[in-house]
Amino acid sequence: MLTANDLAALAGRPTDDVAPWLQPVAAAMAEFLINTPAREAAFLAQIVHESDGLRAVEENLNYSARRLPEVWPRHFYLAPDEANGRIDASLFEHHPDALANVVYANRMGNGPESSGDGWRYRGRGLIQLTGRTLYAEAGAALQLDLINQPDALLQPVAAARVAGWYWRRINGNALADPATQQSFEQLTVAINGALIGQDHREQLWKQAQTLLSAEA
């Protein structure tokens, strides 16, 4: 059984800091049948990584101008580079709302930049749910009004339940069951789209396996 000390060890934080997450995470794992050591270890590793140790349940879009072309090279440029149809990154430096409305416009069920959907449905929760479509799907499945109350995902119960829902949506249990490096990599790609932060994810996974007496 998951304990507050286990969660604190994985998050690398004091037990008191992560204690509010214990019951919501345990309840979400029960609700979505994340109920074997292999499943629990994989789920915990992924949500702890995605949330920076259960600290960050909201996407940080507060970028410097220099960083923007590195993250979104198709959207932004900085002089002396040529524009080539891109936007001057200096206009969006440390303007997270404007940035989200540009880079997430007309994607993931969002409306145009002027709709404000990019900012309204930016990444939130333990597994950063992003875009109007996923907010609507998750809300309908869990009977939460995430379209009108997207900030509900900043609270532990909703954040954990939505993480469990998303895990089910990507067949996380089936990917976690083999408990192989290849299957864990597939899980990361299903969650993140690429093997971003994989070394840290695998470190957490092995640690969680040890804590939960799961076999690799």
Point out the domain boundary residue: 120, 135, 164: 120
CA angle 176, 181, 182 (to 5 degrees): 80
23 and 48: one domain? yes
47 and 94: one domain? no
74 and 43: one domain? no
Q: Is the residue at 127 inside a domain?
A: no
Q: Is the dihedral of CA 122, 9, 18, 176 positive or negative?
A: positive
Q: In the chain, which stretches have pLDDT less than 50? A: 214-216
Q: Which residues contact 134 (CB under 8 A, 6 or more apart)?
A: 108, 109, 121, 166
The total number of structural domains in the chain stands at: 2
Question: How far apart are alpha carbons 43 and 170 in whole angstroms?
Answer: 12
Point out the domain boundary residue: 120, 145, 162: 120
Question: How far apart are alpha carbons 124 and 127 in whole angstroms?
Answer: 7
pLDDT for the residue numbered 213: 79
pLDDT for the residue numbered 2: 86
pLDDT for the residue numbered 196: 87
Domain of residue 96, residue span? 68-120
pLDDT for the residue numbered 1: 80
Q: Is the residue at 131 inside a domain?
A: no
For 140-168, the pLDDT digits (tens) are: 999 999 999 999 999 999 999 999 999 99
CA 99 to chain CA mean position, Å: 19
Q: Is the residue at 133 inside a domain?
A: no
Q: Is the residue at 138 inside a domain?
A: no
Q: Is the residue at 16 inside a domain?
A: yes
* pTM (predicted TM-score): 0.91
Q: Which amino acid type is present at position 61?
A: L
204 and 161: one domain? yes
Q: Is the residue at 27 inside a domain?
A: yes
76 and 40: one domain? no
Q: Is the residue at 32 inside a domain?
A: yes
15 and 41: one domain? yes
pLDDT for the residue numbered 85: 93
The phi-psi region of residue 53 (left if phi > 0; otherwise alpha if psi is between -120 and 50; otherwise beta) is left
Q: Is the residue at 61 inside a domain?
A: no
